[in-house]
Amino acid sequence: MMKLRPLALTVAACASLTALVGCSSSSAPSDDTSAASSAPETSAAAAGGDFCTAYADAGGTLATPSNFQVGLPADETISDLSGRVAVMDAVTPPSEIESAWQSARGLYAEGVEIAEAVPDKSSPVLDSRIFAIVKELSGPTGDIRDYLDATC
């Protein structure tokens, strides 16, 4: 009987430990997940969370403020740049990036106008100004991406 008791005790201890680990692991991730997800939200809220939330809700990503591909058909250029303008129009940028935001938005809008002037929308946009716009975007979009990366 003595030999069965340690075995039974070991089985019971393992079962209890398994149940305890199962319980703690099932509740721990949800606790860790909520703690992990609330911590970034807290820091984002303190550093411009309203902007970051509005930007994400509008469909903005880190790639939104970037250069765009030239040589695409006009209809693709219009679609791409119009989407970027719509995101930028949907939110109010913080003062730290307001100037860069307005510059990038204006350049995207100008790109849309140039693409809309192409008679055959399946033809590429080859206006020399479109190439200049891409070069001009590097400054303001870099500033915006740096802000988004650091704050959002």
What does the pLDDT look like over 10-44, one tens digit per residue?
333 333 333 333 333 333 434 443 333 333 443 33
Is the pTM of the predicted complex or chain greater than 0.85?
no
Largest CA distance in the chain: 95
Per-residue confidence (pLDDT) for residue 49, from 0 to 100:
74
Tens-digit pLDDT profile for residues 87-136: 999 999 999 999 999 999 999 999 999 999 999 999 999 999 999 999 99
Interatomic CA distance for residues 63 and 142, integer angstroms: 10
Per-residue confidence (pLDDT) for residue 48, from 0 to 100:
55
Per-residue confidence (pLDDT) for residue 30, from 0 to 100:
40
Q: Does residue 78 come out as left (phi exceeding 0), alpha (psi in the -120 to 50 range) or beta?
A: alpha
Neighbours of 133 (CB within 10 A): 20
Burial-class residue 17 by CB neighbours within 10 Å (0-12, 13-18, 19+). exposed
Beta strands (DSSP E) in 56-144 are none
Report CA dihedral (95, 133, 113, 141) to the nearest 10 degrees. Answer: -30
Per-residue confidence (pLDDT) for residue 127, from 0 to 100:
93
CB environment 48-78: b (16+ within 10 A), e (fewer): bbebbebbeeeebeeebbbebeeebbbbbbb
Question: Which residue, chain included where needed, has tokens 């008791």?
Answer: 5
